[in-house]
Amino acid sequence: LAKTTQPISMDSYEGQEVNITCSHNNIATNDYITWYQQFPSQGPRFIIQGYKTKVTNEVASLFIPADRKSSTLSLPRVSLSDTAVYYCLVGGGYGGATNKLIFGTGTLLAVQP
């Protein structure tokens, strides 16, 4: 199972763009990259998933270089409510993923007013 490495914490201010990078040097060919958000005492919530290049949805963008050994989650114009822990996971995949996902340390994003 691919191991992920992320910064333990990041600080930002409201309205700024935040980029969180995750390293996954041992990613396998059939692994997807998925980012989750977790608030205290809640289960993680899906943010975005991608395989290569760039993926964008209504809340975030995910940038994946050609070698897929890292990925960057981009949150545009963060607000106080974006303060949470963000996890990068590799594995699973489309078509009914049943592969177990191992969580890394995650990145605690603290957004200041």
| Buried-exposed string 62-89: b where 16+ CB fall within 10 A, e elsewhere | bbbeeebebbbbbbeebeeebbbbbbbb
43, 58, 81, 113: which one binds another protein (CB under 8 A): 43
Cα separation, 95 vs 92, whole angstroms: 9
Interaction between residue 100 and another protein (CB under 8 A) = yes
Interaction between residue 28 and another protein (CB under 8 A) = no
50/111 with CB nearer another protein: 50
Within 10 Å of residue 110's Cβ, how many Cβ atoms? 13
Interaction between residue 41 and another protein (CB under 8 A) = yes
Interaction between residue 102 and another protein (CB under 8 A) = yes
Q: Which residues bind another protein (CB under 8 A)?
A: 32, 34, 36, 41-46, 49, 87, 92-98, 100-106
